Structure 1
């Protein structure tokens, strides 16, 4: 059971199909591949690299911009698809990491989960610290996913999200990601917030 890859080729194909849906402008395959690349780069810091990779593959598997329970449904899908491939405690850690991406708060679990969840959440938010042109493309892509939201409501809601990140003592949980992305992320978020407020 433990020797088989958590995400085999069949499951990978199923998940890739979900991530290639037409309404995914940001939360698609490119986002997953960017996170997997970071997981490879920081693999030595992970307690359970394969579990983190599984959490990355599943964390946005269910995505509907009108819904509030995407992460919970994605975690349920992981539990269903990975049942029998992984022991229940490890599967619970994977589900906890997926659920943590809903609020970007660390799950209250054991140290192993906390370390890996912190790195997973930082990988998920690494786009915030991208160079300005890449960050701006991300912002446009997210706006496209919420195309059904009228502009004034979008500006107010998005401004609240950006303010909540800027209000944190640290956007990133780990020193490695803070050193690499924090300053640029604050600059990007501040510029984006200013733009939203200028339009209001």
Structure 2
């Protein structure tokens, strides 16, 4: 899976809509915004590649794919409604492209699931959330890069405050009984994610 137009158009066709090349360019532009360091085209491409590997687990794969494109479409660390605004954008784009209201609603719900504030309600929401959190179980070097990228995005936060707040977020993930609810992703990432989280929380940096 890649960021190219062919994959994008195929996903929209599967949803009963028409892929908008200008929208594809607009989304790529969003993921290239200068204030982003982690929530970038790199993250989007990693998510899409992992989804391609586990596509067969999705009930409605095209919906998950388009939701991945939109899940960080709006990203501003100073606001708290990024996912909601991204979900609204996805819903509007799907309706404008000729997709049914049911499809648009499900994709919007998928985007909202990446708030990680509630248990996923469907198989597809679980898969998408697990893909979004797969970075926690990345190889140590990639996980360290991820942590550094997050620090860049919050560069305006004083070091001591950042360490406290970030540590609390990571500890919250570590405290979950299960990080990945999709069996295949659990087997792939759960142990590594817990090791990465423990290391990051213990780090003095």
- Which residue of structure 2 aligns with residue 20 of structure 1? 32
CA shift at 1:152, angstroms? Answer: 1.2
Task: List aligned pairs for 1:1-200, cutoff 5 A.
Answer: 2-5=15-18, 7-84=19-96, 85-108=98-121, 114-195=122-203, 198=204
Contact 1:104–1:121, Cα closer than 8 Å, also in 2: no
Aligned length: 191
Distance 1:126-1:168 versus aligned 2 partners, 3 A rule: same
Taking structure 1 as the reference length, what is the TM-score of the superposition? 0.91
Mapped partners of 2:119, 2:168: distance in 1: 20
Distance 1:3-1:93 versus aligned 2 partners, 3 A rule: closer
Contact 1:75–1:98, Cα closer than 8 Å, also in 2: yes
Q: What is the CA deviation profile of residues 105-153 of structure 1, one whole-angstrom value per residue up to 9, with x for unaligned ones?
A: 3344xxxxx0001000000011110110110000000110001111111
Taking structure 2 as the reference length, what is the TM-score of the superposition? 0.89
Contact 2:113–2:120, Cα closer than 8 Å, also in 1: yes
CA shift at 1:9, angstroms? Answer: 2.7
- Unaligned runs of 5+ residues in structure 2 are 1-12
- CA RMSD between the two structures: 1.5
What's the secondary structure of 2:116's corresponding residue? coil
What's the secondary structure of 2:133's corresponding residue? helix
CA shift at 1:159, angstroms? Answer: 0.7
Q: What is the CA deviation profile of residues 9-47 of structure 1, one whole-angstrom value per residue up to 9, with x for unaligned ones?
A: 322111001111111100011111111111111111111
Mapped partners of 1:186, 1:3: distance in 2: 40
Mapped partners of 2:16, 2:94: distance in 1: 13
- Unaligned runs of 5+ residues in structure 1 are 109-113
CA shift at 1:83, angstroms? Answer: 1.3
Contact 2:17–2:99, Cα closer than 8 Å, also in 1: no
Contact 1:39–1:123, Cα closer than 8 Å, also in 2: yes
